[in-house]
Amino acid sequence: MAQKWYALSVHSGKEDFVVEKIQMTIVALGLKDVITDMLVPKQTKIIIKDGKKVLQKKRSLPGYILVKMEYSNQTAPLLTNIEEVRGFIKTGDNVYPMDDTEVERLKDDKQDGQSNQKIYITTIRMNDAVKIKEGPFVDMLGKVSNVDEVKGKVKVLVNLMGRDIPYELPIESIEKL
């Protein structure tokens, strides 16, 4: 029987606990050929704190873990009987494996904290007064006109000779006043 990826619903916040319990079950019952891989999908988020970038891994699918296994009526109860596990995701009465391309998309294989899906989280909002810390307008004051948390950029209106000039720069290059 071929190994496929299945989604297992667990209580939110208990994903790592369930993975640990499954690993203990694999070792205790010698199931390393039946259950070969597990994944708690995570996404790297970049949080700007005091002008510094901080990388943080957050679960992208809270309440779910992915398990690569040979699904059968004998193997499924071994996982569903673990505390904090709700069960396999079903369509009607049947459990179907996930598409491999979808699993690859959810994987965050890069060990250095770099992900395909970075998200910048900042307290800077539109119309905030800010001071520019680097670039051609260093030490000038401006007003935020746009925040792009996906790209990690802000657009600041800088007043030059009575006119507001839009200037785009990285979020970490400004300081909130």
Backbone angles phi, psi at 104, to 5 degrees: -60, -40
Domain ranges of the chain: 4-119, 122-176
Q: Taking the model in full, what pTM does it have?
A: 0.60
pLDDT tens-digit readout, 55-95 = 777 788 889 999 999 998 888 999 999 999 999 998 888 88
Domain pair 4-119 / 122-176, same fold: no
Please state which CATH number belongs to domain 122-176.
2.30.30.30
In order along its 177 residues, the chain shows pLDDT tens digits of 678 999 999 999 899 999 999 999 999 998 888 989 998 888 777 777 666 777 777 788 889 999 999 998 888 999 999 999 999 998 888 889 988 888 887 775 444 444 455 667 778 889 999 999 988 889 999 999 998 888 888 999 999 888 999 999 988 888 888
CATH code reported for the domain at 4-119: 3.30.70.940
The set of residues, in sequence order, having a beta carbon less than 8 Å from that of 46 and lying 6+ positions away, is: 53, 54, 55, 56, 118, 119, 120, 121, 152
Tokens at 73, concatenated: 């009526």
